[in-house]
Structure 1
Amino acid sequence: MLQQPGMRENYGLSRIGTNLADDGILNASMDLGDGLTRWSIRAALTVLVLCCAGRQLASDNQRWQAIDRLLWPLGCALFLTHIAAAIYFFHHGSQAAAFADIANQTKEVLGAAVGEGLYVNYLMAVVWTADAVWLAALPHSYRRRPAWVEGAVLGFFLFIAFNGTVIFKSGWLRVAGLVGTTVIAAALIWRGWRHR
């Protein structure tokens, strides 16, 4: 997920709520952008966990398939919103600034300045968009796709989500990332055990 400069911990509602309560108004440029950027990715990752776990636990259930068909494109739209908001509000439309910021944050966490994570986010956006369009347009074909395709797509998404929450975040966001990962792992184990 795109990182926001200088705001790795303890952000979000407290900052927005304080400004709203203290000032009585919304600082439209940054507080709205801050909230939109942060909460769109949180919602997208929640949808990702729900869909990944739901597909393992109830993949043959028609009611679940209908819910999944609505949630999956919604999650994609939320992820695209996150990317657009991060670029616009935090990096002022500059790809170079986003790349440099991600490189700085990666150096801070991993010790190496690597900004290519920006392009990995874009790749995830392309893959999720294609996957969501496939599900929406051809649900029967989508449901019959080879297991390795499903595994590759979801595995890629989960790898990115795990790194974005557990590696690059702290506090409750890290805990939420660990809980989401555990839920999906448990669903995968249960499905494997059930199909023995």
Structure 2
Amino acid sequence: MLDGDELIRWTVRFALLFYVAAIALGIGDPGSRWRTAANVAWTLGCLCFLGHVAAAMQFYHHWSHAHAFADTAVQTQSQLGWSFGYGIYFSYLFTLLWVVDAAWSWRAAGRSPMRMAIHAYMFFIALNGAIVFHSGPTRWLGAIACLGLGVLLLVRWRSAHGSFSVDSAPADSSASEPATVDSANLEPSPRVEN
């Protein structure tokens, strides 16, 4: 049987493992066959994180927001050099966003600007939780996971958009100019030279 500290640690480790798996699976085409697997991983990660929050509140903070606030202030003081207990609200927001996004991911596919903003915020918080506020293996595994996700994103972007080379522009400069759009029928029309 796991004690409280082990339960706190292992639930967040599994949450982050599922988080990374979901992001890795979701980097591809959102309509792909991997969407369901990404949603399952995302939901399992969310459930593990809820378990982590419940375990931390039960075994460490004793269901006291004041204790969680004070502990956050101590952690930010030791890691960043300034006390900021209000950081606990960023953790609460992270939890809320994960629950909402996990539920939403089953209803709507795609990458809306709102979902991208949510994921950027969540990535920032997860990065801080795994790398900035931890040391040892957790920090190194978090850094490796971030690097791996970055490489996957780069490979996906490159396969979708081609080379990164700046000098690969077409030789005919008029071919690179955008076509005008006829707003009445939304059909592109050729550019007219003056």
- Report the equivalent of 1:10: none
Q: How does 1:44-193 map to 2 (within 5 A)?
A: 44-57=15-28, 59-62=30-33, 64-136=34-106, 138=107, 142-146=108-112, 148-193=113-158
Q: How many residues matched? A: 161
Task: Give the root-mean-square deviation of aligned CA atoms.
Answer: 1.5
Q: Counterpart of 1:38 in 2: which secondary structure? A: helix
Q: Counterpart of 1:107 in 2: which secondary structure? A: helix
Q: Deviations over 1:122-164 (max 9, x none)?
A: 101111111111123x1xxx21342x23321221111111111
- 2-side partners of 1:90 and 1:160: how far apart? 20
Report whether the alignment pairs 1:38 with 2:1: no
- Contact 1:52 1:154 survives alignment (8 Å): no
Q: Percent identity, aligned pairs only?
A: 36
- Report the equivalent of 2:178: none
Q: Counterpart of 1:178 in 2: which secondary structure? A: helix
- Report the equivalent of 1:16: none
Question: 5+ unaligned residues in a row in structure 2: which ranges?
Answer: 162-194
Q: Which amino acid aligns with 2:26?
A: R
- 2-side partners of 1:40 and 1:84: how far apart? 10
Change (3 A) 1:96 1:54: same
Question: 5+ unaligned residues in a row in structure 1: which ranges?
Answer: 1-25
- Contact 1:40 1:81 survives alignment (8 Å): yes
The TM-score, its normalising length taken from structure 2, stands at: 0.78
The TM-score, its normalising length taken from structure 1, stands at: 0.77
1:188: Cα distance to partner?
1.5
Structure with higher RCO (Cα < 8 A, 6+ apart):
1
- Contact 2:15 2:49 survives alignment (8 Å): yes
- 2-side partners of 1:58 and 1:187: how far apart? 13
- 2-side partners of 1:161 and 1:145: how far apart? 20
Question: Which stretch of the first structure deviates more once superposed, 149-158 or 161-170?
Answer: 149-158
1:98: Cα distance to partner?
0.8
